[in-house]
Chains A and B, each alone.
Chain A
Amino acid sequence: MDSRVTEFEDALARHNGTVVRTTSESFADDLSDVVEAPAVGAPLADPLEYEGTGVETDPSVAAIEAATTGVTPCRLGIASYGSLVVESTDGGTEPISLYANHHVGVLRESDLLADMPSAIDRLGEAVRDDRTDNIIATGPSATADMGGLVYGAHGPERVTAMFVEGL
């Protein structure tokens, strides 16, 4: 498993993103170090909580638009590409991961898959069952349309994966 995590870290680094390893216990502290206010977040799965991080949950549309950091859970990670899979939820994962300058995706260790075939198989089941919408996001948004490579085109300029070990 650890080689898979290393592969994920290397792959995301190649795409100009960062991985921060954390645990359920130190999650809130580590997240506080990563986020820059104003920050908004979508609900996380137990036992992870935003308490003490300054992240505003259930934000208004205005707060989403004004946020510097947006924190969301990630349904899956794909080690070989350094990708985070963000499922659209009622809690607003899609706009929260999209409008802020910095997207922080929270990924549980058990959700890190090796490669694209396993990710598509897993997503296939979910889409068949629930017709979910998912974004495979790899690194920050980027464009080369203005005469040079620039990060932060329409979407976030920075991406951090909070990788929760043991969860």
Chain B
Amino acid sequence: MSESRADKAARIRHLLETEGDAVYENTTGFNEGRYETTGQLENYEELKDEARAVKEDAVERLPDLIDQLRETVEANGGTVYIADDAADANEYVAEVCDDADRLVKSKSMTSEEIEVNEHLEARGVDVLETDLGEYVLQVAEEAPSHIVAPGIHKSRESISQLFEELFDPDGPLETAEDLTKFARHHLAEKLRDADVAMTGANFLTADTGTMALVTSEGNARKCVASTDTHIAVAGVEKVIPTFEDLQPFIELIGRSGTGQDITSYISLLTPPVDTPTLDFPEGGEMGDGDDREFHLVLIDNGRFEMRDDPQLRETLYCIRCSACLNSCANFQQVGGHAFGGDTYSGGIGTGWEYATHGEDSAAEFNDMCTGCSRCVNQCPVKIDIPWINTVIRNRINQGEDPSQFEKLVDGLVPDEEPEGTDLRKRAFGNIDTLATLAGETAPVSNWLAETPPARSVMERVLGIDTRRDLPEFKRETLVKWAQGREGPADPDRTVVLYPDLYTNRVLVERGKAAVRALEALGIEVVVPSAGESGRAPLSQGMIDTAQDHAEDTYETLEPYLDVDHDVVVVEPSDLAMFRNEYEKLLPEDDYERLRSNSYEVVAYIEAWIDYTADPDPLAAGDGEAVAYHSHCQQRTMGLEGPTVDLLEDLGYDVLTSDVECCGMAGSFGYKSEYYDLSMAVGEPLQEQFQTAEAADRTVVASGTSCTEQLGDLLGREPTHPVELIAPDE
């Protein structure tokens, strides 16, 4: 393990131990809440489409909308300042606060992004965070670990200890109620005589100059009500065309974020607000609302550049709800502090860091996205977050300076990547070349690879953790096995089975079972020799190489599509390539053709049985109890259901897991710095499959990674569902 990998591993272990439990409890709570509350919406998908359409339109017309918003706010009696960057914004805010002693803030990530607190404090302004979570972090001098709930890494005990050390309270502060009351009282005193309020803005409507603030505590309302001057800081992407456009966002943001159908307060302010001014120290009559002042500071800070970047533009559609963090299996274990980033961390945070702080900040945690895709369907504006992460990974690869050793390797591997690409990324990205070599020399290659010296070199040079078993390559590939095989005499149909790398060379039995099951149903199966789909290089951010693979794969499959053969796929991550990522890698017509004719093998069989109403050729379950873990990308495609349905129809007793991801996620779990995290992610799955109800069941998994991870976690080798249902030869 290189020094930096060892450091990273140690940092992750430390966070797992110190913050992991609190983060896990909170994020999984939000995650379950999201599934529950979005499930209550009859028109969830339509609302997401509407929200997406509003943002697409708004970002397209952004310069005009900003002009319109400026006119509206000015007509309403406020001012608008457009800041090029953080320094520009801070300078303006400092001028507005020139005579102020104290500024009170409600939670705003944009204000964190520009580090306005430090700037104002240096000018002698007392800055106070009033969101209770932010307040805790302010006094603890810690950074947020989550964009919506900044202090989720803090346990009640740690807050209690902090308050007792800092404030020496009269009585003990033990319960959450004690702590809340204490902080509320303390902050209320400070709010009474504050001079300026700073809020963010979740949305700004160009036609009316209205800002929407989504909150729960009521502190944003108090900040605005109790001060005469209100500054709102917001990224330029927060502008949407009309007041009515707020509707889908209001219905989606709470559900998508903390899993509440709505938060306590949605403030729809059209500032300067009308509410009377309040002089608490005087305590007399309420004042005149007309005396209020409002400054809107719209911040560019890299956003317009991102708007001109076709690959990353959709980052600007993000409404910062945090669904992508809460649904991320890695994030659930360690939280934002492990994800680095100057301000934004986890999920879409890579995109935001890339725009606002640059590539180095984004690079810190980009590898933590495994591309499992669980966030994709959770995003209320349908951003393809894994793709954003892949694009940035690709750009990081392009920018790295090659070492001499890497220059040597460059000549040996067949990829399209620049010399600087990290060596390990190239090893995993070119796994097909390695697998072919290993397969052709198996079993000798397997023996050699598992020797201590070999594993030691792999760990040192490639960072492949020695605690992982390596895949065992079979000498006879699925393609070779299938050659010259006699199919059904009078087939009803012919399909082409795509022999993905692992089904072809490692988990060959599941491939054979797929062929047997299909043939038993009267379907002829062709297994052509084919290349790797591009999933492996894509996961390392090697987009050019992935595109080469995609083109080759399409070329292999095209003749079968020409004669109307369906494409059947065993490995879910490869099917996900055909259905999703190929949209970015292939010409539109080719992509559409392959997408609409590709099927997951068990879903295909399930549909076939549904059509023929004759399951007899398949192996019946006779009540066999199985514990089934579907695959992350399979579930994102909505394809867990058919496997469960078919197994149950055939008489299997099926128990399913409900974790987002097994933790292996392709090459991720092999990487030495991430091994502990990968195992921690797998722990809830391990627990689910070790309960009394599950412990004696046959373990079944659809994905290669999940099969490897479950084998490591349970010491029981999983089988693929198609192996269960395929009749013997």
Hey, which bits of chain A sit against chain B, CB under 8 A? Answer: 15, 60-62, 64-65, 81, 83, 88-90, 92-95, 98-99, 116-117, 120-121, 123-124, 127-128, 131-150, 152-156
Q: Which of B136, B217, B271 has the most CB of A within 10 A?
A: B217
A98/B156 in contact, CB under 8 A? no
Which of A81, A128, A135 lies in contact with B208, CB distance below 8 A? A128
A137-B265, A155-B265 known; 15 new pairs, CB 8 Å cut-off, are A60-B284, A62-B280, A81-B261, A88-B289, A95-B275, A116-B251, A127-B268, A131-B274, A132-B270, A146-B156, A146-B183, A147-B156, A150-B180, A152-B180, A153-B217
B residues within 8 A CB of A94?
Answer: 221, 225, 273, 275
CA distance A148 to B175 in the complex (A): 8
Q: Does B177 contact A (CB under 8 A)?
A: yes
B residues within 8 A CB of A154?
Answer: 130, 184, 187-188, 217-219, 221-222
B176/A142 in contact, CB under 8 A? no
B residues within 8 A CB of A121?
Answer: 244
The answer to whether A136 and B244 touch (CB under 8 A), given A128-B208, A150-B176, is no
- The distance from the CB of B281 to the nearest CB of chain A, in whole angstroms, is 9
B residues within 8 A CB of A134?
Answer: 267-268
Which of A15, A116, A131 lies in contact with B247, CB distance below 8 A? A116
- The distance from the CB of A81 to the nearest CB of chain B, in whole angstroms, is 5
- The distance from the CB of B535 to the nearest CB of chain A, in whole angstroms, is 39
- The distance from the CB of B172 to the nearest CB of chain A, in whole angstroms, is 14
- The distance from the CB of B108 to the nearest CB of chain A, in whole angstroms, is 15
A140/B264 in contact, CB under 8 A? yes
Q: Does B216 contact A (CB under 8 A)?
A: yes
The answer to whether A136 and B268 touch (CB under 8 A), given A90-B274, A146-B159, A153-B217, is yes
B280/A61 in contact, CB under 8 A? yes
CA distance A10 to B60 in the complex (A): 41
Q: Does B266 contact A (CB under 8 A)?
A: yes
A residues within 8 A CB of B132?
Answer: 143, 145-146, 153
B86-94, B147-155, B614-622 - interface stretch? B147-155
The answer to whether A127 and B208 touch (CB under 8 A), given A94-B275, A95-B278, A150-B180, is yes
Hey, which bits of chain B sit against chain A, CB under 8 A? Answer: 26, 76, 130-133, 136, 149, 151, 154-157, 159-160, 175-177, 179-181, 183-184, 187-188, 207-210, 216-219, 221-222, 225, 242-244, 246-247, 250-251, 258, 261-271, 273-276, 278-280, 282-286, 289
Which of B176, B243, B275, B286 lies in contact with A128, CB distance below 8 A? B243
A residues within 8 A CB of B261?
Answer: 81
B280/A65 in contact, CB under 8 A? yes
Which of A64, A93, A124, A132 lies in contact with B278, CB distance below 8 A? A64
- The distance from the CB of A36 to the nearest CB of chain B, in whole angstroms, is 18
**28 A-B contact pairs sorted by A residue (CB < 8 Å):** A15-B262, A61-B284, A64-B278, A65-B280, A81-B262, A90-B274, A93-B275, A94-B221, A94-B225, A95-B278, A116-B247, A120-B247, A121-B244, A127-B270, A128-B207, A128-B243, A142-B217, A144-B149, A144-B258, A145-B131, A145-B133, A147-B155, A152-B184, A153-B132, A153-B180, A153-B216, A153-B219, A154-B187
The answer to whether A61 and B243 touch (CB under 8 A), given A135-B267, A146-B176, is no
CA distance A44 to B217 in the complex (A): 26
B156/A137 in contact, CB under 8 A? no
Closest to A120 in B: B247
B284/A62 in contact, CB under 8 A? yes
Closest to B220 in A: A154
- The distance from the CB of B213 to the nearest CB of chain A, in whole angstroms, is 9
B244/A139 in contact, CB under 8 A? no
Which of A83, A127, A153 lies in contact with B243, CB distance below 8 A? A127
- The distance from the CB of A104 to the nearest CB of chain B, in whole angstroms, is 16
- The distance from the CB of A136 to the nearest CB of chain B, in whole angstroms, is 4
B276/A90 in contact, CB under 8 A? yes
CA distance A152 to B180 in the complex (A): 8
A residues within 8 A CB of B250?
Answer: 116, 120, 136
Closest to B274 in A: A88
B133/A141 in contact, CB under 8 A? no
Which of A93, A124, A139 lies in contact with B264, CB distance below 8 A? A139
CA distance A60 to B280 in the complex (A): 10
A127/B210 in contact, CB under 8 A? yes
A148/B176 in contact, CB under 8 A? yes
Q: Which of A120, A149, A154, A155 has the most CB of B within 10 A?
A: A154
- In the complex, the 7 A-B pairs of residues with the closest C-beta atoms, listed nearest first: A147-B156, A155-B218, A148-B176, A62-B283, A145-B133, A153-B217, A141-B218
- The distance from the CB of B124 to the nearest CB of chain A, in whole angstroms, is 26
- The distance from the CB of A116 to the nearest CB of chain B, in whole angstroms, is 5
- The distance from the CB of A95 to the nearest CB of chain B, in whole angstroms, is 5
CA distance A163 to B136 in the complex (A): 39
Which of B225, B247, B285 lies in contact with A98, CB distance below 8 A? B225
The answer to whether A123 and B268 touch (CB under 8 A), given A88-B273, A131-B208, is yes
B residues within 8 A CB of A147?
Answer: 154-157, 159-160, 176, 179
B251/A143 in contact, CB under 8 A? no
B276/A92 in contact, CB under 8 A? yes
Q: Which of B177, B184, B280, B284 has the most CB of A within 10 A?
A: B184
B262/A136 in contact, CB under 8 A? yes
- The distance from the CB of A43 to the nearest CB of chain B, in whole angstroms, is 13
A residues within 8 A CB of B76?
Answer: 131
CA distance A129 to B154 in the complex (A): 46
A143/B216 in contact, CB under 8 A? yes
B residues within 8 A CB of A143?
Answer: 132-133, 180, 216-217
A residues within 8 A CB of B160?
Answer: 147
- The distance from the CB of B151 to the nearest CB of chain A, in whole angstroms, is 6
- The distance from the CB of A64 to the nearest CB of chain B, in whole angstroms, is 7
- The distance from the CB of B585 to the nearest CB of chain A, in whole angstroms, is 39
Closest to A159 in B: B264
CA distance A147 to B156 in the complex (A): 4
- The distance from the CB of B400 to the nearest CB of chain A, in whole angstroms, is 40
Which of B154, B263, B286 lies in contact with A61, CB distance below 8 A? B286
The answer to whether A146 and B180 touch (CB under 8 A), given A98-B222, A117-B247, A128-B243, is yes
The answer to whether A124 and B270 touch (CB under 8 A), given A64-B278, A81-B262, A146-B156, is no
The answer to whether A133 and B275 touch (CB under 8 A), given A61-B286, A145-B133, A154-B187, is yes
Closest to A148 in B: B176
B246/A120 in contact, CB under 8 A? yes
Closest to B191 in A: A154
CA distance A148 to B133 in the complex (A): 12
- The distance from the CB of B335 to the nearest CB of chain A, in whole angstroms, is 15
A61/B278 in contact, CB under 8 A? yes
CA distance A121 to B245 in the complex (A): 10
